Amino acid sequence: MMSRLAAAASRPAEISFEVDGRILSAPQGEPLATALAAAGLLQLRHSPRNGAPRGAFCFMGVCQECAIHVDGVLRQACMTPVADGMVVELRGVP
Ligand code: FES
């Protein structure tokens, strides 16, 4: 029998998603920016102005620095929960 504390501390199931052809895993529903950072992917795109590397900064949907293509649509990685089978493209985003 599972204790109330153990039940409250349980984590969501791990799901798999693809980033530039690489298969990663993360707890279902974790913010995509967090899952990418946990995998060591901190540079998400380049500045369209000067080509400088950019990555998630505010983690709350304000700065737009985490804009990447998710399933072919430009999305904010910090506001997008990871989902099984999700396809993420870091290459090609300015
Ligand atoms: S990290 Fe700022 S909008 Fe996503």
Q: Coil, strand or helix: which one is 14?
A: strand
CATH class of 14-89: alpha beta
| Residues 6 or more apart whose Cβ sits within 8 Å of residue 78 | 31, 32, 33, 34, 56, 58, 59, 60, 61, 66
Confirm if 13 and 27 have CB atoms less than 8 A apart: yes
What span, in angstroms and rounded, lies between the C-alpha atoms of 88 and 59? 18
63-79 mean pLDDT:
96
Residue 6 has pLDDT above 90, yes or no: no
Pocket mutation for ligand 1, best pick of 36, 41, 54, 64 (most atoms within 8 Å of C-beta): 64
* pLDDT value at 94 more than 80: no
> For residue 93, what pLDDT is reported?
63
Whole-angstrom CA distances from 69 to 9, 21, 27 are 32, 13, 20
Give the distance (Å) from ligand 1 centre to CA of residue 66: 5
CA of 42 to the centre of ligand 1 (A): 12
pLDDT at 71 over 80: yes
